Amino acid sequence: MSDFDPMRDSTHVRSYRSPSRRALLKAGVAAAATAPFLMRIDEAIAQGITPKRGGTLTSLLTPEPPVLMIGVNAQGPTLTAVSKIFQPLFTYTPTLDFEPVLAKSWTISDDKKVYTFHLQENVKFHDGQPMTADDVIFSAMKFWMTLSLRARIIFARIEKAEAPDPHTVVFTLKEPFAPFLYGFGGTGFMIVPKHLYDVADLRNNPNNAKPVGTGPFKFVEWQRGSFIRLRRNEEYWKPNQPYLDEIVYRIVPDSQSRALALQSGQVQLAGGNDIEPFDLPRFQAQPNLSVTLKGWEYYGPLAWIDINKRVKPLDDARVRRAMSMALDRNFILQKLWFGSGKVATGPLCETTKFYDASVKLPPFDLAAANKLLDEAGHKPDASGVRFTIRHLPLPYGEVWTRLSEYFRASMQKIGINVTMETTDAGSHSARMAKWDYETSINYIYQVGDANIGMEQYFTSENIKNVAFNNVGGYSNPRVDELLAKSRYAIDPVERQKLLSEFQRIAVDDMPYIYLLQMSFPTYYAKRLNNTVTTAMGIADDFDDVFLA
């Protein structure tokens, strides 16, 4: 557990300062990394490394985001780019402690219901208007409450949102809510300007095409299919920062061209889905590049097969368990992802709070899978086929296509015929939202706490025509009850008990087929400093990143 647990400490105050990274430096390297976490500015200066002003950072971004507004689209590429434009109240360290950003300090009342945030002063939006407590309250209570189901889990718990002065925000909860502060990450609570967004139609606001935030970089231009350009915010609230003049995100559809751009030095940064996993070994050996698996601690990305449980025979948990047992996760990890990640053991990643290591998936066993399908009444026909299902691959690059092909081949071994239906990224999300699929592959973010990251995929109230939710129609009253109780359990021991039972049921019911705990490699030029320093990875604001 982190040093600060909001349900354990009665009062918490943190003032802004450049936090020490000595502990991170001592932690060494990730399993697949060739360099440790890079230093923050104070550590760099202490060791005689002077941050250098100037230069353009060119990065890959795959796939091209549909919009540059995180409330409108929650996909990874969108977050990577807009995290330089918009900022949250605070961010998270690799151990999921809290690090101030737009909030310089905060306190929690003894009854765990009143959260008081003291904001940084002299913060301006990119159009010159000051950021105040009104913008924070508007962002929470209207913008995110309107656009994000995940945010609603957090902000619906607020009874009152008040601004006693322009730089103080007070949220009073209806009742104690254990995971409250873990909903404030970049994926769920960036601060937007009220004067531009206090309109009826947030999703189609014209400002979505020219985003205006408080971040260290301003949006300049977007040539679709080619690049997104961000420029230094000269009125940024941190003195003398950012160090970079520009960040250019290059949109390169072809995976081989992306790899060549990184290898040749045309780009200095790649992450997420930019580089195919099979290229990991050769880039680890390249002398001008560093590689790290750090920076995914907050997200806890988990790859799984999403199943439309309205479709027969996929509505039968025995069928879903048989499909799970037909998949060799070690093969997927080593042969498709080249060791970048860990095999899933259930619905939670081990970096997510209240992960239970005792929960285990049924082992890979083709004979047992075939027997279970026989027992479920699905005998193979003369051709050896039990039934046919449709599959929607994730259009995020070649490795995801290979994973779908492996899924199809594995299902054939237990008599399930799989028909592929390919789409682009936008169409994939739209079809999932319309429940127009039978099986698909996706990966989801757990954002530090099971109640925040997982409820939208497991609770009955989130069976809606909205992508990245319970589109598969899973409903179990006991799961609904467990997740509801764990939201409000103040005692960490009680929360663990509730969430452990949830994890066991989520394995027994197998509403999703859990595959990998993912850690996407980040590749960066060795002259690029402070690339990955928080649990947000390359989706941090980059105000202290510099080119040596």
Q: What pLDDT, in 10s, does the model give residues 407-457?
A: 999 999 999 999 999 998 889 989 999 999 999 999 988 888 888 889 889
Q: What pLDDT, in 10s, does the model give residues 228-251?
A: 999 999 999 999 999 999 999 999
Q: What pLDDT, in 10s, does the model give residues 172-183?
A: 999 999 889 988
Question: What is the per-residue pLDDT for 23?
Answer: 33
Please give the Cα distance from 360 to 542 (Å, whole number). Answer: 38
Please give the Cα distance from 500 to 493 (Å, whole number). Answer: 10
Question: What distance lies between CA 364 and its chain's CA centroid?
Answer: 28
Q: Give the predicted TM-score (pTM) of the model.
A: 0.80
Q: What pLDDT, in 10s, does the model give residues 473-508?
A: 999 999 999 999 998 888 899 999 999 999 999 999
Please give the Cα distance from 355 to 352 (Å, whole number). Answer: 6
Please give the Cα distance from 518 to 312 (Å, whole number). Answer: 30
The answer to whether the CB of 501 falls within 8 A of the CB of 16 is no
Domains of the chain (ranges; CATH) run 302-518 (3.10.105.10)
Please give the Cα distance from 436 to 468 (Å, whole number). Answer: 14
Question: What is the per-residue pLDDT for 47?
Answer: 58
Question: What is the per-residue pLDDT for 32?
Answer: 29
Question: What is the per-residue pLDDT for 33?
Answer: 29
| Confidence grade of residue 42 (pLDDT, cut at 50, 70, 90) | low
